[in-house]
Amino acid sequence: MNQPTPPAPSFSVISGAQVAEVISGNEEQVTRIIEAAYRLHGEGLTVNPDSYFLTFPDRPSSRIIALPASVKGDVDVHGIKWISSFPENVAAGLPRASAVLILNDVHTGYPFACLESSVISAARTAASAALAAAELSKQRGGRPARVGFIGTGLIARFIHTYLAGTGWAWDELGVHDLSAEHAKEFGRYLGRTEDGTITIHETAEELIRSSDLIVFATVAGQPHVTEPSWFAHNPLVLHISLRDLSPEIVLVSHNITDDVEHCMKANTSLHLTEQLVGNRDFVTGTLFDVLEGRAACPPDRPVVFSPFGLGVLDLAVAKYIHARLAGDGALHTVPDFFTELKRYG
């Protein structure tokens, strides 16, 4: 008996506008998707190889990163994110980062969608930060009311959106950036949505000392904050940009990450600390450990969350977006994307 001919695989292209439409205003739901992905990762139901960094001898500040991954459970997809960081873009009026993401079918391996992914990347980063802030604050007696942002680009904006969208409110917001103009622009942005006091700080020290929740969202390539005494008030630190803090600060803190192995690479602050002391004893645990109640971060030291950024998070958000658009009949498919489908013609 002849086997039925399987349907030809389809391929869709999902624009950044579609991505934004699906996730805008759904910060709580995206954060829950990120929490579920972290739990799948912690339970061993993911594959998340090392990221691959494409660097350029003639442009040392720029890079393109490949993040392959696979997620089982309800997500059930393979894929890869290809994200570039070209800081010089900012001076030309373009965002620093751009990205695409490919989703692959788990049964055939065929790619079935390409999504604009700078928005996905920013959203999953912000949702991860909001989740960590909420879970770690529970252990420390309540949510901070004084919040400071060091670095004022797209990621900082998304983190603010996700904190606000998951129930955070503040009495004071601080802003610091190496560019005074960017700091003022971010302050004006905050002023359109916030009722609390907004202060533009001239130095990182001023901001850190006056904030109980500190968000690092910079493009720093090496530690630029080196004085542990600035953190004597034991704040909660979302160290999203990974390379801002010196080993001396790391060593006096409770350190939480998303994946220990991944964070001990590429000269992150945690990696530099490991190289300095020769062990990883300074890491308290992972966010999965926090979710499972296995990592305690009491209020007697600073708490630093340093997420390397796992590809499995991008896949979880991308699969959700694809499913939403497919359910709404809004996918833009590319006819005849796959043409050689017969083995012998």
Residue owning tokens 């704040």: 235
Tokens of 138: 């529970």
Whether residue 66 lies inside any domain: the answer is yes
Domain that holds residue 246: 129-306
Q: Which of 295, 55, 31, 314 is nearest to 168 (CA)?
A: 31
Which helix (H) or strand (E) segment holds residue 133: the answer is helix 118-139
Total tally of structural domains belonging to the chain = 2
Which phi and psi (to 5°) does residue 5 adopt? -75, 125
Q: Tell me, yes or no, whether 25 and 161 share the same domain.
A: no
Whether residue 340 lies inside any domain: the answer is no
The answer, yes or no, to whether residue 298 has pLDDT greater than 90, is: no
Q: 222, 60 in Cβ contact below 8 A?
A: no
Q: What is the pLDDT of residues 28-64, one digit of tens each?
A: 999 999 999 999 999 999 999 999 999 999 999 899 9
**How, if at all, do strands 52-55 and 172-176 pair?**
unpaired
Q: Tell me, yes or no, whether 164 and 105 share the same domain.
A: no
Q: Tell me, yes or no, whether 149 and 283 share the same domain.
A: yes
pTM over 0.85: yes
Q: How many CB atoms lie within 10 A of CB 142?
A: 9
Q: Tell me, yes or no, whether 189 and 259 share the same domain.
A: yes
Q: What is the pLDDT of residues 189-201, one digit of tens each?
A: 999 988 789 999 9
DSSP label of 225: B
Q: 334, 11 in Cβ contact below 8 A?
A: yes
Nearest-angstrom CA–CA distance, 143 and 167: 10
What pLDDT score does 342 carry? 79
Q: Tell me, yes or no, whether 288 and 165 share the same domain.
A: yes
What pLDDT score does 1 carry? 47
Nearest-angstrom CA–CA distance, 77 and 108: 11
Which helix (H) or strand (E) segment holds residue 102: the answer is strand 97-104
Q: Tell me, yes or no, whether 138 and 275 share the same domain.
A: yes
Whether residue 291 lies inside any domain: the answer is yes
